[in-house]
Amino acid sequence: MSESPLLDVVGLTTRFATERGEVTAVDDVSFSIGSGEIVGLVGESGCGKSVTASSIMRLLDERYTSYGGEVVLGGTDLLALPERRMRKERGRSVSMVFQDPMTALNPVYTIENQLIEAIRAHRTISRREASAIALDLLEQVGIPDARNRMRAYPHQLSGGMRQRVVIAMALSSQPRLLIADEPTTALDVTIQAQILELMLALRAEYDTGVVLITHDLGVVAQTCDRVLVMYLGQIIEDAPVGELFRQPYHPYTIGLLGATPSVDADSADELQVIPGRVPSLHDVPVGCRFAARCAFATQQCLDDPPPLEDVDGVHKVRCWNYRTVIASQEVTHVA
């Protein structure tokens, strides 16, 4: 799997013009994804994960947004394409599954209608042929009684079903990259598991690369091969999933993991809360953005923004003091 990566994001920077001035929602983000790789993108609300996703798809309103850097998919820089060309790529080489299945489908059109629309957006075929493909897709995503369900309206389906439909639509043109923005957040835990399994199966079948955006570390643990942690518009850690959970390098990641309730934790253990609040994007701190809330912060952290450092070829971290962090963790992990 060491051919050139499927997706190579280099220095992606996304700025918005707001009433209170310009805001940099995504700041110099770089990562790559290989075919068939599922990469998780985690962080708190507002850290820039959704904006990163929308930037890859260039879905943001370009009157108020400016993009910097490169987003290279299969050799082509998506950010450099004219809009008409980009539109052709959307839904075909890169697809997106949105957060809320309740509202992601248009309530006044049937499932069949919306699927056919997605299929015929990138292929010139007749409605009948498209309908057959749609039926096949619905069966693939595990919708029972697909033939009848096609003629239904979105509100007649459950949340889990709707999400499967949305996934079917996203996969209709067999994209090489799928971006899933919190695909399971609005669903029950049991349905969540089913959807994730579906995604794993589809990945195996089609070798699609997946960007899985979530704030739920449990989902990451179940599904992802690699994890990117974002904070205030920057990637602060990039590691294979096993390593991240076993040995996080960044204090923020440690905080996230500590704040997650665990089944085998002692009930007397407190849930660790990261002190302080995420600063506003209008007031980005000088130096390391996490420094004000960090137990390991030093003067250097307050003055100098740390770069994203590649520690051992697979694990990257944006922290001056990660060695100290690792050392302190080893002490507590004795048990």
Partner 1 sequence: MLKYILSRLVQTIPVLVIVALLIFIIARLAPGDPAAVLLGPDATADEVEALREQLGFNRPIYEQFFSWAGGLFVGNLGYSFFLQESVSTAIGNHLLPTLSLAVLAQILAVVVAIPAGVAAARKPGGVADRTLMGASLLGISVPSFLLGLFLALLFAVLLRWLPVAGYADPSEGLGKFLLYLLLPAIALAAMQAALLARMTRSTMMDVLGANYVSTARAKGLPGGVVLYKHAFRTAINPILTVVGQSFGVLITGAVVIETVFNIPGIGQLIVLAIQRRDFDLIQGVVLVATLMYLVLNLIVDLLYGVFDPRIRLRKAG
* C-alpha neighbours within 13 Å on the C-beta side of residue 57: 26
Residue with tokens 């997106």: 96
The answer to whether 208 and 290 are in contact (CB under 8 A) is: no
In the list 117, 139, 243, 304, the residue contacting partner 1 (rule: CB under 8 A) is 117
Report, in Å, the least distance between residue 93 CB and partner 1. Answer: 10
Q: Return the residues of window 26-65 that contact partner 1 according to CB under 8 A.
A: 57, 59, 63
Residue 91 makes contact with partner 1 by CB under 8 A: yes
Is residue 223 classed exposed, middle or buried when 0-12, 13-18 and 19+ CB atoms within 10 A define those classes? buried
Q: According to the binding rule CB under 8 A, does residue 262 interact with partner 1?
A: no
Q: Provide the minimum distance between the beta carbon of 112 and partner 1 in the complex, in angstroms, as a whole number.
A: 13
CB closer to partner 1 out of 166 and 236? 166
Question: What is the DSSP code string of 67-130?
Answer: EEEEEEETTEEGGGS-HHHHHHHBTTTEEEE-S-HHHHS-TTS-HHHHHHHHHHTT----HHHH
Nearer to partner 1, 15 or 92 (CB): 92
The window from 6-14, 39-47, 91-99, 227-235 that contacts partner 1 (CB under 8 A) reads: 91-99
Q: Which helix (H) or strand (E) holds 235?
A: strand 234-240
CB closer to partner 1 out of 27 and 89 = 89
Q: Is 76 in the site for partner 1 (CB under 8 A)?
A: no
- Dihedral of the alpha carbons of 43, 90, 175, 49, in degrees to the nearest 10: 0
Distance, CA of 315 to CA of 152 (rounded, Å): 47
**210 DSSP β-pair partners:** 38, 178
Could you say which of 9, 33, 105, 301 contacts partner 1 (CB under 8 A)?
A: 105
Can you tell me which of 15, 92, 215, 293 binds partner 1, judged by CB under 8 A?
92
- Supply the minimum distance, in Å, between the C-beta of residue 100 and partner 1: 6
What lies within 8 Å, CB to CB, of 171 at 6+ separation is 95, 137, 140, 141, 178, 202, 206, 208
288 touching partner 1, by CB under 8 A:
no
Q: Does 89 bind partner 1 (CB under 8 A)?
A: yes
Q: Is 96 in the site for partner 1 (CB under 8 A)?
A: yes
Q: Which of 8, 51, 72, 98 binds partner 1 (CB under 8 A)?
A: 98
From 7, 42, 47, 104, residue interacting with partner 1 (rule: CB under 8 A)? 104
Q: Count of residues binding partner 1 (CB under 8 A)? A: 30
Of 151-180, binders to partner 1 (CB under 8 A) are 153, 155-156, 166, 169-170
Cβ atoms within 10 Å of 13's Cβ, excluding its own: 16
In angstroms, give the least distance from the CB of 63 to partner 1: 8
Query: Do residues 104 and 46 make contact, with C-beta atoms less than 8 angstroms apart?
Result: no
Residues between 120 and 139 that touch partner 1 (CB under 8 A): 121-122
Q: What DSSP string runs through 153-178? A: -GGGS-HHHHHHHHHHHHHTT--SEE
Per CB under 8 A, 95 contacts partner 1: yes
Determine the number of helices (DSSP H) and then strands (DSSP E) in the chain: 13, 12
Least distance in angstroms from the C-beta of 99 to partner 1: 7
Contact pick of 21, 75, 107, 261 for partner 1 (by CB under 8 A):
107
Nearer to partner 1, 34 or 91 (CB): 91
| Beta bridge partners of residue 190, listed in sequence order | none
Q: Give the binding site for partner 1 (CB under 8 A).
A: 57, 59, 63, 87-92, 95-96, 98-100, 103-108, 117-118, 121-122, 153, 155-156, 166, 169-170
